[in-house]
Amino acid sequence: MKKRIFSGAQPTGRLHLGNYLGALRNWVTLQDEYEAFYCIVNLHAITLPQDPKTLRQKTLDLARIYLAAGVDPERSTIFIQSDVPEHAELTWVLLCAARMGELERMTQFKDKSQKGGRERSSVGLFTYPALMAADILLYQTDLVPVGQDQKQHLELTRDLAERFNRDFGETFVIPEPYIPKTGANIRSLQDPAKKMSKSDENEAGAIFLDDDADAIAKKIKRAVTDSGTEINFDETRPSIHNLLTIYQLVTGKSEQECVENFAGKGYGQFKGELADAVIEYLRPFQEQIASIDDDALHAFVKRGAEKARSIASATLSDVFSKVGMS
Ligand code: ATP
Ligand code: LTN
């Protein structure tokens, strides 16, 4: 039997190169070896205010992005979180196992609640990691491919699963994170202290998957650099390190080949070659995305939800019976 993987992304904002290099492209390679579940986490999306019409559209658009990136609906299960009510139901049980202190330590809540202030944050934003744990645990997941920013949520998921298993008997598989060595932590092009993010107000910091060639070239040209002139993987020069990491990932070259390629060259030439490489890398994806129609998407996510439900409902009924629900 194949091992299982589960991952998801929120249908909010515009997906960027960080999402692609940190998560999506690994989903595609892992589907050969694992039985894969890729979820569009629309329940997570409403932890921040969303316009209903836009959310509905973005939910379908994200399914299109998964397919265009190369997720194969014949092998992998693509589904929408709200189509499988067991996610919300298991969340309740896990929230009753989680501790206030655990959720208060989550750095994503601290970051995301900062903007409007903690007092005005939704309780959903606070309990978000328990919903993510439910997503993962419902499918008895072995491996969870995510970017570095989700590591803490994965640790909480493991803790909750271990606690439940101890208190009520073996129920959940304890999932392992899959965080790639390179690409799990792509930084903003405008400020390497911040991660490349959908929610960054400065759009110049992110290369979006639907940016055209002109926009990509402009953003890379304007990207901040570090003092000095060398182009190498020096951690103390985070801007160049980030740009060179992107170059490495989109070209598939080794670290050494990347450094050799730019030895003696200036930032201008480096940025020109990087822009060309990124544009080429995204081209097949961008061509593919236009060819997937809504009817096909509706059919895939409907079938995906049926498959997902058959597994999720078995886990949930085991959990309910163990905690004493009739
Ligand atoms: P953002 O932080 O950009 O607002 P998000 O938290 O809403 O995004 P999702 O779209 O749900 O993110 O994330 C999908 C996947 O992309 C997750 O596995 C996440 O870890 C990964 N990811 C997000 N940003 C980056 C980044 N800058 N570098 C690498 N991986 C990333
Ligand atoms: N929290 C994640 C999205 C997410 C997820 C998941 C990822 C929700 N449920 C389950 C992996 C597994 C994010 O914001 N990037």
Domain CATH number, residue 224 = 1.10.240.10
How far is the centre of ligand 1, averaged over its atoms, from the C-alpha of 72 (Å)?
21
Q: Look at residue 116 in the predicted model and tell me its pLDDT.
A: 85
Q: Look at residue 34 in the predicted model and tell me its pLDDT.
A: 98
How far is the centre of ligand 1, averaged over its atoms, from the C-alpha of 317 (Å)?
32
**Among the options 2, 53, 58, 112, which is catalytic?**
112
Q: Are residues 133 and 73 in the same domain?
A: yes
Q: Look at residue 267 in the predicted model and tell me its pLDDT.
A: 96
Locate 26 and state its tokens.
């690994």
**Within a domain: residue 195?**
no
Q: Are residues 41 and 159 in the same domain?
A: yes
Nearest CA to ligand 2 atom 13: 9
How far is the centre of ligand 2, averaged over its atoms, from the C-alpha of 175 (Å)?
13
Q: Look at residue 129 in the predicted model and tell me its pLDDT.
A: 98
Ligand whose nearest atom lies closest to the CA of 112 = 1
Nearest CA to ligand 1 atom 23: 19
Q: Look at residue 85 in the predicted model and tell me its pLDDT.
A: 98
Active site residue 198: yes
Q: Which atom of ligand 1 is nearest to the CA of 150?
A: 20
The pTM (predicted TM-score) of the whole model is: 0.96
Cα–Cα distances (Å) from 186 to 128, 135, 285, 290, 317, in that order, read: 23, 25, 19, 26, 40
Q: Which atom of ligand 2 is nearest to the CA of 131?
A: 9
**DSSP SS3 for 49:** coil
* Length of the chain counted residue by residue: 326
In tens digits, the chain (326 residues) has pLDDT values of 899 999 999 999 999 999 999 999 999 999 999 999 999 999 999 999 999 999 999 999 999 999 999 999 999 999 999 999 999 999 999 999 999 999 999 999 999 998 889 999 999 999 999 999 999 999 999 999 999 999 999 999 999 999 999 999 999 999 999 999 999 999 999 999 999 999 888 999 999 999 999 999 999 999 999 999 999 999 999 999 999 999 999 999 999 999 999 999 999 999 999 999 999 999 999 999 989 999 999 999 999 999 999 999 999 999 999 999 97
Domain CATH number, residue 167 = 3.40.50.620
| C-alpha–C-alpha distance, residues 103 and 127, integer Å | 7
Q: Are residues 167 and 263 in the same domain?
A: no
Are 65 and 294 contacting, i.e. CB atoms less than 8 angstroms apart?
no
**Within a domain: residue 187?**
no
Structurally, how many domains does the chain consist of? 2
Are 34 and 5 contacting, i.e. CB atoms less than 8 angstroms apart?
yes
**Segment holding 40, helix H or strand E:** strand 35-40
Q: Are residues 236 and 217 in the same domain?
A: yes
Does 175 sit in the ligand 1 pocket, CB within 6 Å? no
**Within a domain: residue 49?**
yes
Active site residue 115: no
φ, ψ for residue 74 (rounded to 5)? -80, -30
| C-alpha–C-alpha distance, residues 132 and 156, integer Å | 10
| C-alpha–C-alpha distance, residues 156 and 133, integer Å | 8
Q: Are residues 266 and 307 in the same domain?
A: no
Q: Are residues 221 and 315 in the same domain?
A: no
How far is the centre of ligand 1, averaged over its atoms, from the C-alpha of 178 (Å)?
14
- 68: nearest Cα among 228, 237, 292, 244: 292
Q: Which atom of ligand 2 is nearest to the CA of 132?
A: 9
- Per the DSSP assignment, residues forming a β-bridge with 77 are 37
Q: Are residues 37 and 101 in the same domain?
A: yes
How far is the centre of ligand 2, averaged over its atoms, from the C-alpha of 132 (Å)?
6
Q: Are residues 27 and 98 in the same domain?
A: yes
Q: Look at residue 199 in the predicted model and tell me its pLDDT.
A: 87
DSSP 189-246: SS-TTSB--TT-S-GGG--BTT--HHHHHHHHHH----SSS--S--TTSHHHHHHHHH
Locate 206 and state its tokens.
């992110």
Q: Are residues 122 and 259 in the same domain?
A: no
Q: Are residues 139 and 278 in the same domain?
A: no
279 burial type by CB count under 10 A (0-12 exposed, 13-18 middle, 19+ buried): buried
Q: Look at residue 192 in the predicted model and tell me its pLDDT.
A: 96
**Within a domain: residue 192?**
no
18 burial type by CB count under 10 A (0-12 exposed, 13-18 middle, 19+ buried): buried
Does 144 sit in the ligand 1 pocket, CB within 6 Å? no
Residue 231, domain extent: 203-289
DSSP 102-136: HHHT-HHHHHHHHTT-GGGS-HHHHHHHHHHHHHH
Q: Could you identify the residue written with the tokens 């060595």?
A: 181
